[in-house]
């Protein structure tokens, strides 16, 4: 009985880990294609990307953009690239002020990629694949220290 239970547990664990990896692989492939096709860049083996789209938490976007304009050093130090969409640039032109390692996706494709991005998001790459995507939640951003923790969350 115990053996059956154990073997079932192993099978379930295997299935779930495979589906997670597949999901992550799929997202990595999608993001990597986006980088090479739209921004002419390659995916790094280990890096953090800050993605800012207008879709999702718009309040998070406004707070986040104000913050990075005030403290650009946190971004330059911790992120390979800051990618923002064309829609965002039209809605919040202030984002264009932030020049350091930031790039505008003029095709606006980033707004439509199925990566699970929501407003102000961090994509963490480890060992060449997406290990985590963290979305900023407006409820956690009551003060600047919360935003600082979020931006340095690596």
Partner 1 sequence: MVVFTLFILSCNYKLNKSEYIFVPIDTIIFPVKNPIRINSRYNNRTCTNYISFIDVGNMNIFLITNDSNNNRTEHIFCYKNAIRNFKKENFNLFYFFKDTSSVYILLKNPIFPGNIKQSIVQIDSKGKFRTLKIWNSSNEIYYIQPPNKPFNFTDTNIFIATCFHEAKLGTPSLNDYQTNLDSRKKVFSQPPTLLFEINDSICKIIKEYGSYPKTLLDTTIHIYNYFPDYTICNSDAVVFLYRNMDTLYLTKKNKTIKYAFKSKYKHCNPKFDMKKLFNYNYINKYACESSKPMYIKYEPKNNRLYLIYTKYQKFENKDGTINKAINNPFSIIVFDSLFNNIGEFNISNEYSKFNSFPTSKGFALRNTKLSNKNKKATYIVYNIQETKKTL
Under the rule (CB under 8 A), what is the footprint of partner 1? 26, 30, 55-57, 109, 112-114, 116-119, 135, 137-139
Task: Label residues 9-31 b or e (16+ Cβ within 10 Å = b).
Answer: eeeeeeeeeeeeeeeeeebbeeb
Residue 143 C-beta: closest distance to partner 1, Å: 19
Residue 56 C-beta: closest distance to partner 1, Å: 4
Task: Label residues 56-94 b or e (16+ Cβ within 10 Å = b).
Answer: bbbebbbbbbebbeeebebbeeebbbbbbbbebbeebee
* Closer to partner 1 by Cβ: residue 96 or 116: 116
* Closer to partner 1 by Cβ: residue 71 or 109: 109
Residue 110 C-beta: closest distance to partner 1, Å: 10
* Closer to partner 1 by Cβ: residue 64 or 119: 119
Whose tokens are 């020049």? That residue is 99
């Amino acid at each position: 009985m115990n053996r059956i239970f154990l073997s079932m547990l192993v099978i379930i664990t295997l299935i779930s880990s495979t589906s997670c990896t597949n999901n992550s692989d799929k997202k990595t492939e999608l993001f990597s294609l986006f980088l090479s096709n739209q921004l002419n860049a390659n995916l790094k083996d280990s890096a953090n990307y800050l993605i800012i789209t207008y879709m999702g938490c718009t309040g998070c976007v406004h707070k986040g953009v104000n913050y990075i304009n005030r403290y650009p050093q946190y971004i330059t130090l911790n992120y390979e690239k800051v990618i923002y969409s064309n829609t965002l640039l039209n809605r919040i032109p202030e984002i264009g002020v932030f020049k350091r390692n930031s790039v505008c996706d003029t095709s606006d494709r980033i707004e439509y990629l199925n990566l699970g991005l929501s407003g102000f998001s961090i994509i963490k790459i480890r060992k060449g694949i997406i290990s985590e995507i963290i979305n900023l939640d407006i409820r956690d951003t009551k003060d600047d220290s919360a935003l600082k923790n979020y931006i340095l969350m690596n």
